[in-house]
Amino acid sequence: MQADYVIVGAGSAGCAMAYRLSEAGKSVIVIEYGGTDAGPFIQMPGALSYPMNMKMYDWGFQSEPEPHLGGRRMATPRGKVIGGSSSINGMIYVRGHAKDYETWSDMGAAGWNYADVLPYFKRMENWDSGGHGGDPDWRGKSGPLHVSRGSRKNPLTRAFVEAGRQAGYPVTGDYNGEQQEGFGPFDSTIYKGQRWSAANAYLKPALKRDNCTLVRGMAEKIVIENGRAVGVQLNKGGKSEVIRANAEVIIAASSINSPKLLMLSGIGPAAHLAEHGIDVVADRQGVGKNLQDHLEMYIQMAATQPVSLFKYWNLFMKGVVGAQWLFTKTGVGASNQFESAAFVRSQAGVEYPDIQYHFLPIAVRYDGKAAAEGHGFQAHVGPMRSPSRGEITLRSANPAEAPKIVFNYMSHEKDWEDFRKCIRLTREIFAQDAFKPYAGKEIQPGKDCQTDDELDDFTRQHVESAYHPCGTCKMGAKDDPMAVVDPECRVIGVDGLRVADSSIFPQITNGNLNAPSIMTGEKASDHILGRTPLAAENAMPWINPNWETSQR
C-alpha cells in the first residue's frame, strides 16, 4: 500500500489534514488504531461522561505517581477511535487568546501569531450563534466544523453570568471573538443535536473521495532511509507491514503518542534512545519534553430549588432523555450542558485571562457520579498557564507498551497560589445576589476549608486534569536545541516527516485544546501542499484597558 501522504492518527488534526490534502487531489492513507464512532455514547452530547471512561474508545493512559499530588496517578484519557479525542471530549470550542499565539511567535514559531492563525480558525468554522449574540465578523460561516451554542434555558446557567457581572467582571458576547475576557455563553462542536467531531466534520467527507483511505492498525515506527521518512511500519492483526509514502509521512498521533512514535523511530534524546537499544536517527533533545496540561477542580454548591439537571439522574429519566435524543436529536441529550463560561484575570498586572470557568447546572463528577446532596451546581475552575512542565518517555522499545507520563503537576509555588485564588474568587461569585434564590451550602471544598494550608490540602487531593496535554514535540526555530519541528511542522533533522497536532504547541493555549488542534491541522495542510498561507488578518482583540492596575 502506498499514497502521496501517510497520516498517523485520525484525531483532530489528522482528520483536518486528510480532508484538505485529499481535497487538493493528493492520495492519502490515514492510519488509526481505534475503531468506529457509531452509537449514542459518542454521538449524543449529553452522554459525554461515558466514552472517556470506556476502554473501547480510550487509550486508558495514566500518569506515573505525581510527586506533588501525594503520589496520585492521574487519568490521561486520549481518544482511541476515529476523530480521536474530539470523539470523547466535552465538545467545548475555544480558540485560545490572541496573546497565546503572540507568545508562540515569540518562542520561535514564526508565522503562527494571532493574525496568522485567525484566518484558519475562520476557514474551519461554520458558526451559528443560535440567536445568542456574538461577533459574526470574527467568525467563519462556511467551514466543515459546525460550532453552536446551547439553549441556555436553565436558570442556573444564566445566574452564573449575572453573578460574574455583579462581582464586577465584564460580560462578553463571544469569547472566541474580539473579547475573551469576561462571562458569557459557551461555544460547542455540536450540530443539530449531535457531537460534531473531527471525524464527522472532516474524515467522513474525505473518505467519500477515491483518493483517501483509512487503514486500521498500530503504527510501530516511521521507516527512515538515508535520512528521509519513506513510510510507516504498521502492525495489523499481529503482522507487520510497511505503508509507503511517496511524498511525506505526517504524525498526528496526540501529545502522548506522537513523541512515543518519534522515539521508537530513532528521533529523540540520544541517551534515552540508547537505554532502550534504539538506533539514533536524529538526536532531538526536545522530544517528549515540555509536557503541559490544565488542572482544574470543581467548586460544588447544593441547590435550594429543584432547578438542576439532577432530576434526570436516574435510570428512568436517562432512558427518556436518550429516547428523545435518538428520535428527535433534541432535549437535554442534545447539549453538553456546559452552556456558560468565563475567562478572568487572577490579579492586577496580568495582561489577559489566566483562569477559566466551565459552569455546570448539576453537582457531578467526571465519572458521572452525582453528589449525595442531590440538586446542585458547580464551576470547574483552573489556571491557564502553569509554569510546571513534565515529560513523556519510553517504558520500553515495545510499540504496544504505553509510554511513561510524568506531568510534574503543581511543581511550582505559583501553581498553589493560583489554585487558592481560583477557589476564593469562585466563592465570591457564588455569593452574589444572582445565586441567592438557588445557593445552599458549599458541598466542595466545604465552608471549613479556609486557610492556605487547608486549601492546599484540598487541592492536592481533589485537583483533576482538564485533559489538555500538549507541547511534547515543540515547534520552534531550527537552531533551538529543544525544538522538534520548525514553523512548517517539519521534523528538524529528518526529511519528509512532519508532526502536526497539539504536541507541537510551544505553550498551552487558554481554554480547551480541540479548536487549536484542528486549526493546526488546517494550517499544516497549506504548509504540506506548499501553498502560500492565508493572508494575515490584523484584527485587534480587546485587552482590558485597566489590566495593570485592576483584577477586573
- Amino acid at residue number 487: P
Count other Cβ atoms within 10 Å, centred on residue 377: 31
Count other Cβ atoms within 10 Å, centred on residue 192: 10
Catalytic, out of 146, 294, 380, 468: 468
- Output the nine-digit C-alpha cell for 220: 510501530
Question: Angle CA(510)–CA(483)–CA(416) in degrees, nearest 5?
Answer: 40
Report the distance separating Cα 104 and Cα 290, nearest Å.
14
Pick from 44, 118, 10, 74: nearest CA to 536: 118
Buried b (16+ CB within 10 A) or exposed e, 58-83: bbebebbebebbeebebbbbbbbbbb
Classify burial at 416, counting beta carbons within 10 Å of its beta carbon; exposed 0-12, middle 13-18, buried 19 or more.
middle
Sign for the CA dihedral angle at 451, 452, 453, 456 comes to positive
Q: Could you tell me which residues are annotated as the binding site?
A: 81
Parallel/antiparallel/unpaired status of strands 282-283 and 267-268: parallel
Q: Could you tell me which residues are annotated as the binding site for FAD?
A: 81
Among this protein's residues, is 468 annotated catalytic? yes
- Give me the phi and psi of 81, to 5 degrees please: -170, 160
Report the distance separating Cα 198 and Cα 110, nearest Å.
26
| Cβ pair 429, 163 in contact under 8 A | yes
Report the distance separating Cα 160 and Cα 152, nearest Å.
11
Pick from 161, 185, 181: nearest CA to 173: 185
| Residue 245 host element (H or E) | strand 239-251
Question: Angle CA(340)–CA(344)–CA(349) in degrees, nearest 5?
Answer: 175
Tell me which residues are annotated as active site: 468
